[in-house]
Chains A and B, each alone.
Chain A
Amino acid sequence: MDIMINAALFFSLLALSSYVYAYILKKERVFLISSLLLLFSWLLSAAHTAIFSFKAGRLPLSNQYESVLLLTQFILMISLYVYFFRELKPAFILPAAVLAPALFSLLNLLDPAVRPLMPALRSNWLFFHVFTAMLAYSFFAIAGLRGLFYFVKKEIEKEDYCIKLVKAGFVMLTIAIITGAIWAENAWNRYWSWDPKETWSLICWLYYAALLHMKRTGFSAKTFYMSLFIGLLIVVFTYFGVNYLLSGLHSYA
């Protein structure tokens, strides 16, 4: 199974390299090659995910390795869908081209063993909670890197995809927090324990709620784009930093 992830990593690195090459030398057709390499990388990782799911008898939802796998799938799927079916613009490929090699590399450092679910995770809520959380993180990650791209280029995107991504991410994060709370009430006797993961998810939610209101207050596009990237940093800390730096009830994540 690791061979597939290593192959996916290889093709995603090729995709990133060709993207940079295309960007510097302004070769428009090479962007398409980059996206096709990314597509192939996704197919390999999707096959790996399918095999993992078949072996485990469930979707990959229960630990860091599995959630990173799911996150990578979502980031690639969203980016490739928008690129091929909506807007054939290179800016849509860049977040996935940057994130995919990083996440595939991370997968190589994590334990890929298929393990049965521990008692606390044996609930139908696991699917709804983790699925929506990873979807939220994917939207925020793509929006964050897109924001950084436009901030550095000092341009304004014409399609308003950043705000759409943030909206989608915010909805998913809200549902993730709600489903997590309902599940916690059933499993841990409290819908909210001020666990570090819960606390930082709330910080994320508050941050993006403020970001969504920014548009009404006349904040400049530059400030908005930088705020998207800062939001991504908060998400990264919520997802990874909390797991390694702060202990809590979500320790199995």
Chain B
Amino acid sequence: MKILKALASLKVFFAAVSIAAAALAYETLIQKDFFSGHSSFFYFSVFLLLANISSCLALRLSRKPWPKISFVLIHSGVIICIFGFIMSSFYGFEGEIFLYKGQESNMVSNSDAVYKIPFRIRLENFYIEYYNQPSPYIVLEDGSRLEAVPSSVIRKAGLDCRVEEFLNDFVLNESGKALNRSSFFNNPAVKIGCKKAGKKESAWIFANLSSHNGNSLPFKLIIENADIKDYKSVISILYRGSQQKAEVSVNSPAKFNGYKIYQTSYEPSAGESSVLTVKKDNWLWLVFLGFFVLAAGVIGWIL
């Protein structure tokens, strides 16, 4: 009982909270990196806090009058959350998988190793949705602009130029020919041919490069309305001879056999490809239960 009272004291609470806050502040300010949760001071403070809150709750429930329901919910919620976090961090699993369109794999990787998941994922399609149709424009030195479409003509300041070609995702193939890698506006480029003093000069101008691209043409390429609304992967999940199709987008992961597949990112330089994350966490329900109990507690406390 004495130990319980000592553990339940506010002094222990203040000590645990101070150590936790100091450890967190140190990791972010001094280490200047994402806090990796590897600080032993922080772990110690979490266990101290867990012991403190549990003891406090046990002590209060063993005495009459019983505490208010909001008190019980708030403190229980924190305890459940901490348990959930601990179980989740030990037993949860996640790994990333990079797929080109048409490629399939069952290997995912994280910072520790490469893992084999019990099903295969095939990327059937990847697409980027824009809010509006992106519009390319060539901007001249005087600020005027015109649409960057083939056959657009620029006749200003002694220049006689014509837009020869526009590619929304420029890439050079093995023989040095310029191609469109994908239908997305990842690396927009426009080829402009100019006649000056009888000489013809052609050059590519890239939207993603801020300088004049090392050539003498005084133009810039800008893309308007290129705000991305969403990016999605259409995948097939192959498991024991069966095939299940799913669509994965940001904020909308796919679910399969206790696993979740997230649209994490995409690689603009890799064309039609997708970066997915596969995750399994059997203790997520405990964390969410803690959240629910804690939220109910604080709302009950304020009402």
A→B interface (CB under 8 Å): 115-116, 118-120, 122-123, 167-168, 170-171, 174-175, 178, 181-183, 185-196, 199-200, 202-203, 206-207, 209-210, 213, 216-217, 242, 246, 248
Contacts and interface: CB of A to CB of B under 8 A. Distances in A.
B66 interface: no
A245 to B, nearest CB: 8
Contacts, number: 103
A123 B229 CA distance: 12
B288 A199 contact: no
Given A192-B85, A207-B21, 9 more contacts: A118-B228, A123-B251, A175-B295, A182-B288, A189-B279, A194-B37, A200-B25, A203-B24, A210-B13
B27 A187 contact: no
Given A189-B264, A191-B287, A206 B20 contact: yes
B284 A178 contact: no
Q: Closest 3 CB pairs between A and B?
A: A194-B35, A119-B250, A189-B262
Contact residues on B (Cβ < 8 Å of other chain), bracket: 35 or more
19 contacts: A116-B131, A119-B229, A119-B230, A119-B231, A122-B250, A122-B251, A167-B301, A168-B302, A171-B298, A175-B295, A178-B295, A181-B287, A189-B262, A192-B85, A194-B35, A194-B37, A206-B20, A206-B21, A207-B21
Nearest to B278: A189
A122 B227 contact: no
Given A167-B301, A199-B28, A115 B227 contact: yes
B10 interface: yes
Interface centre among B17, B25, B32, B301 (most CB of A within 10 A): B17
Interface of B: 10, 13-14, 17-18, 20-21, 24-25, 27-29, 32, 34-37, 85, 94, 131, 227-231, 249-253, 260, 262, 264, 277, 279, 284, 287-288, 291, 294-295, 298-299, 301-302
Contacts of B302: 167-168, 171
A217 to B, nearest CB: 5
Contact of B301 (A171, A192, A194, A202): A171
A127 to B, nearest CB: 13
Contacts of A193: 34
B27 A181 contact: no
A189 B298 contact: no
Contact of A195 (B34, B85, B230, B291): B34
Contacts of A183: 251
A217 B10 contact: yes
A171 B37 CA distance: 26
